[in-house]
Amino acid sequence: MLGENKYHFIAIGGIGMSALARILLERGATVTGSDAAASYVTKGLEKAGAKINIGHNAENLPPSAVVVYSTAITEQNPELSCAKKLGYPLIHRAELLAELMESHAPLLVAGTHGKTTTSSLLAHVLVVTGFSPSFAVGGIVHSLEKNGGAGHGPYFVAESCESDGTFSLYPGYGGIITNIDNDHLDYWKEMPALIEGFRRFAGNMRAKNHLFICVDDPILRDAGLKAKTYGFDLAADVRISNFLQHGWKIVFDLHIEDGFHPEIEVPLVGRHNALNASAVFALCLSLGVPEAGIRKAFRSFCGIGRRMEKKGEWNGIEIYDDYGHHPTEIATTLEGVRAAFQGCRLVVAFQPHRYTRTRDCFEEFGPSFQAADVLYITDIYSAGENPLPGIDTHALMEQIQKANPSSLYSPRAELAMRLKETLRKDDVLVTLGAGDITKIAGELLQLWQT
């Protein structure tokens, strides 16, 4: 369908959909779309040339176009329903990504946690070092000011999400698998099926010498994949040593086969980001990127939207926002923040995401907040799911309080005011979750300024 020159995206503001829309715009296609609400993403796409309607309506469909949809779009969506009735050509988001990667050497980043940071860092390095990659990642890369782009070089960096199984459609050249954890079991149902999905994904790689997997992850280590390994483990092909964190910067050494690469610096926090960066470093070296260029690019990396993104500061209080919503992500993120802000009081506000994830990770949430000094839990963000019996905010609150007795509940509508009353000079606030908790920083700053 890439011979077509007009595309209409249903829910164009989604982070995955918007990346593909931007690539098509940069390739000269006409792009229209719709979304439930305007956002910084839709505004950025309009600035790039897209025509976007707010609200889903059959009248949004242009006279002719390929209609792009995702797994999240139901049959009841008026645009999808009308497009089917009128015979519009339809393409799933994953199929479009696969087509966009044709004639490129795809570098695919998969894994339950860390894939957005890892794929963004990889895209950043290849752009800065002059390789001009195309890319589609799950966050706005601050240095590139976008989440997708059409480059002129041979490589295509893509974040490959396992949430609906479509990542097995992508024929990769090389890439990185960060870990495997118990997420998206609403689709996979059980862990063996999820692990098998990652086996199929890895099996699609054309160049196994450019595939790197984290040996520190026990599930990934035992999955039997043919790849090079990275991690802190002494048996890793790419081994991290001498890890240090200095404020908002990590430094570590890398041992790659017979080579030694000392004092690699990245302006990120946490051991988990040393793992992510080591994989990118090793993959780029294997592709022939000069080491000096990788090091320079690492030092200039300035993060991704919604990945420990600094949202503001008021009276000595610093506010950060993070997309983390799985217990593993929460624990590693907060440990890194605690190391960066030693001596400060760490205030955390968490919005659970989806009833199914809350159910599947129910007992793991409590211990994941150990680094927090003050913890607020707000209402579950359903993301369109129907409630499940016995799985609600009250039940989760009771579970979390077993490990964090002083944790507090706040309704979402009152959360900003509760935080305003709690926060004091030199505190660090971290908002966590994949829902609308990202708006809390703006709500707080507005309260302080009025």
Q: Which domain does 31 fall in, by range?
A: 6-92
Q: Is 197 left (phi over 0), alpha (psi -120 to 50) or beta?
A: alpha
> Which pLDDT tens digit goes with each residue over 349-374?
999 999 999 999 999 999 999 999 99
Residue 232 within a domain: yes
Amino acid at 226: K
What percent of the chain has pLDDT above 90?
90
Residue 1 within a domain: no
CB 288 within 8 A of CB 126: no
| Candidates 115, 146, 228, 311; catalytic one | 115
Q: Are residues 392 and 272 in the same domain?
A: no
Q: Is 63 helix (H, G, I), strand (E, B) or coil?
A: coil
Query: Given pLDDT bands bounded at 50, 70 and 90, which one contains residue 345?
Result: very high
Domain end: 249, 271, 300, which one? Answer: 300
Q: Are residues 156 and 226 in the same domain?
A: yes
Q: What is the mean pLDDT of residues 326-343?
A: 93
Residue 400 within a domain: yes
Is 93 a residue whose pLDDT tops 70? yes
pTM: 0.91
> Which pLDDT tens digit goes with each residue over 244-266?
999 999 999 999 988 999 999 99
* CATH at residue 276: 3.40.1190.10
Q: Are residues 236 and 208 in the same domain?
A: yes
What percent of the chain has pLDDT above 70?
99
For 229-261, letters b (16+ CB in 10 Å) and e give: bbbbeeebbbbbeeeebeebebebbbbbeeeeb
Residue 394 within a domain: yes
Query: Given pLDDT bands bounded at 50, 70 and 90, which one contains residue 168?
Result: confident
Q: Are residues 144 and 267 in the same domain?
A: yes
> Which pLDDT tens digit goes with each residue over 134-151?
999 999 999 999 999 999
Q: For the chain, how long is the longest CA-to-CA vector?
A: 62
Q: Are residues 296 and 155 in the same domain?
A: yes
As a whole number of angstroms, the distance between CA 217 and CA 11 comes to 34
For residue 108, CA distances in Å to 83, 93, 113, 162 come to 31, 16, 14, 12
pLDDT confidence of residue 166? 86
Q: Are residues 227 and 337 in the same domain?
A: no
Residue 323 within a domain: yes
Q: What is the mean pLDDT of residues 324-350?
A: 94
* CATH at residue 40: 3.40.50.720
Q: Are residues 119 and 223 in the same domain?
A: yes
Q: Are residues 286 and 315 in the same domain?
A: no
Residue 341 within a domain: yes
Domain end: 283, 300, 317, which one? Answer: 300
> Which pLDDT tens digit goes with each residue over 398-424?
999 999 999 999 999 999 999 999 999
Q: Are residues 109 and 66 in the same domain?
A: no
| Candidates 32, 42, 116, 328; catalytic one | 116
* CATH at residue 314: 3.90.190.20
pLDDT confidence of residue 33? 98
Q: Are residues 331 and 242 in the same domain?
A: no
| Candidates 159, 162, 329, 335; catalytic one | 159
Q: What is the mean pLDDT of residues 214-234?
A: 96
If one counts the domains in the chain, the total is 3
pLDDT confidence of residue 450? 82
> Which pLDDT tens digit goes with each residue over 265-278?
999 999 999 999 99
Annotated active-site residue 115? The verdict is: yes
Q: Are residues 250 and 119 in the same domain?
A: yes
Q: What is the mean pLDDT of residues 21-45?
A: 95
Annotated active-site residue 116? The verdict is: yes
Domain end: 42, 73, 92, which one? Answer: 92
Q: Are residues 84 and 127 in the same domain?
A: no
Residue 16 within a domain: yes
As a whole number of angstroms, the distance between CA 313 and CA 319 comes to 6
